[in-house]
Amino acid sequence: MIRQNTVVRKSCLLIFALFLLAPFSFVSAQIIETEGKIVVSPVKQRIRVKQKSKGVSDDSDQPAEKLIVVDAKVKLQLCVSTGKLKVSGWERNEIRAFVGGGSRVGFKVLQKSEQNGMPVWVEVLGFDPTKNNGNSADECLSGDEIELDVPRGATVNVKGGESETTIDSVRKTTVEIEGGDIFLNNITHGIYAKTFEGGVTVENSSGAITLVSTTGNIVAVAVGASEIGDVFKAKTNSGAIALQKIGHRQIEAGSNSGSIRFTGGFQSGGQYNLGTQNGSILLSIPEKSSFKLNASYGFGVFNPEIPLQNLVKTPTPKAQNLSAQMGSGDATLNLKTVSGAIRIRKQ
Amino acid sequence: MTEKCFDIGTIQAFLDGELASDLSEKVACHTAACDVCAIMLAEAEEETAFSFSALENEFDTFVPTNRLWAKINDSIEGNKKTFWQTIFARFSNPSVAAFAGLVIVVGLFAVMLSVKTDDDKKIFIAESVPNKQAAISTIFQGNLSESALPVKPEITDAGSVKISSPDNDKSKFKIVKADFSEKESNRRPIKVQKPNIITELNSQPAADAENENLLGEDSYVKTIATLEKTVDSRKDEVLKPAARFAFERDLAVTDDAIRKMKAEVKKNPKNEAAKDVLRASYQNKIELLNSVAEKSDLMASLK
């Protein structure tokens, strides 16, 4: 009887002790779980992201390089998910593609020339189509460094995610990327460049040019038309636009909250439409320019530092129209701003 | 320490002034007589002074002790009453109850009167001599088409002409005018009830409509409304925080420009510069909203 009582008492004590210890064990389990998450999760995430970006990821540590002989006026298209892309024109009728620290590379010939049988339309892929049928592979290139050498007469079309893109010495190019800066140089027959988060810089190029950015700046230096009727357009929402030595006869530039700076002379018979919402318009022009000016400004100011003839201004205190002339009035200049200033000064 | 001696906690509470007045008095009397407690009190005082000087900065902010919080919470719990208890307690006062009753009666009268006034606005009764023809012309936003008439003239059995609005949307019509051509001479003057109210009600929307149609901006507004619907559903996933910030800022800038220019056009409808800038602002807003839609399309094409 006494022994039974002792056993019952001991078991009660044991259960009581277990109850007391239960919260501590729960807390320690939580700590271990949390520690595990902190240490392990970034590593897991990094591995997952790397696998996703590789596309075909068999031996990505080794750089991938491929070469294909093409027509001199080949059209080239490619997609870049991440990485720094550099496309350069060279004298050979070949395309060389190099990807360092990322995806594989391969070519897909979409069309061949009827005259010489050479590829005239080629797509650069993030995998090798001769080894992989592409079912599970990412078509977009990705890597730390992506380089392409293409014939100078090539047309290059790039679509991409976050990618800094540089294109040099090709015939024509179209670039549309989600983010990253675009640098274009020596493009001879036209540009369409659009980035949603980044700037666009164009130098020494010609043809019809359209530059679009959402949050970045646009800079164009020494550009001109390659054919009659080529238009230059620049549009940004939050950035500034700087134009220097523009040879086009039709120019349209607009910014929402950024300013526009135009430096250089006007072409005879040219039409220049510059407009901002909340930024100023600054023109630095030669002393002997010839243009007709039409300006509309809501709550801004008009401040010419050069003498203008036939200045006519509406008498309204707000939202004014203004027309004036300088020289014989060869070019037409339309300026529009809501709350920015318009300034014209000598170059 | 004797049985009557106080523990260190009570002495500390005594020093902190947290004891009840009777207990505090007891402690004071006891420490005056008891050497042990007096020493304990002195030591506690020294410790308190030392700790207060060391933690002077921390004690500058007033943080009540746990005991104080407990007291405060207890007193709140004691005073807590339900909502209905509070209401009934208020109405236990006879003067308050009488005043509330008066307010209810006046309120009911006001509601009845307003309902009656609304009915009067809807219906005009123009008394007329029987067998007389009534030519009623109405003007509805400049149109005289019968299908667009917001009012329906009816000749009642009593010989009166009753003009009633078919729907309750008073803003749709501008002026209601009733002309009577009579063949006989014994006519009575037309009696129209409260025509001034109708004129006042309708003059403002008519002016607004005139201003809105000045620029033909309906198409802009419709396009923007459609784009806004699309963008609102997508912008969270499409735009990163920095881009989202820039987008919202640009949108605010554009909206502000539109608002200012609209006001200017309203003030001076002949200001062509204001109209130009307003159109440009609308175009900017469309392009801004389009940029989000285009980015969304690009992202979708890359997936």
Q: Identify the pLDDT of residue A87.
A: 96
Computed on alpha carbons and rounded to an integer, the radius of gyration of chain A in Å comes to: 32
Q: Which residue, among B266, B276, B282, B288, would best test binding to A if mutated, counting the most A CBs under 10 Å from its CB?
A: B276
A residues 66..85 contacting B (CB < 8 A) = 79, 81
Among A79, A237, A316, select the one facing B273 at the smallest CB separation. Answer: A316
A residues 144..163 contacting B (CB < 8 A) = 159-161
CB–CB contact B246 A238 (8 Å): yes
pTM: predicted TM-score of the whole model, two decimal places: 0.59
Q: Identify the pLDDT of residue B13.
A: 86
Residue B302 forms contact with A (CB below 8 Å): yes
Q: Which residues in chain A are closer than 8 Å to B234, comparing Cβ atoms?
A: none
Q: Compute the distance between CA of residue A152 and CA of residue A54 in angstroms, rounded to an integer.
A: 30
Name the closest residue on chain A to residue B288, using Cα atoms.
A237
Among A79, A214, A321, select the one facing B273 at the smallest CB separation. Answer: A321
Q: Which two tokens stand for residue A165?
A: 């893109």
| φ/ψ (deg, to 5) at B271 | -80, 100
CB–CB contact B240 A160 (8 Å): no
Q: Identify the pLDDT of residue B14.
A: 85
> What are the residue ranges of helices labelled H in chain B?
8-16, 21-33, 35-54, 56-60, 66-79, 83-91, 94-122, 195-212, 218-238, 241-267, 272-302
Q: Which residues in chain B are closer than 8 Å to A235, comparing Cβ atoms?
A: 287
B284: pLDDT confidence band, cut at 50, 70 and 90?
Answer: confident
Residue A232 forms contact with B (CB below 8 Å): no
For residue B146, give the DSSP letter: G
pLDDT-flagged residues of chain A (< 70): 1-8, 11-14, 16-61, 133-137
Q: What is the share, in percent, of chain A residues with pLDDT greater than 90?
A: 60
Q: Which residues in chain B are closer than 8 Å to A160, comparing Cβ atoms?
A: 302
Q: Compute the distance between CA of residue A72 and CA of residue A113 in angstroms, rounded to an integer.
A: 11
**A to B CB pairs, distance under 8 Å:** 104
Tens-place pLDDT, residues B12-71: 888 888 888 888 888 888 888 888 888 888 888 888 787 767 666 555 544 555 666 777
> What is the overall mean pLDDT for chain B?
67
Strands A172-179 and A155-168: parallel
The three-state secondary structure class of B265 is helix
Q: Compute the distance between CA of residue A234 and CA of residue A254 in angstroms, rounded to an integer.
A: 6
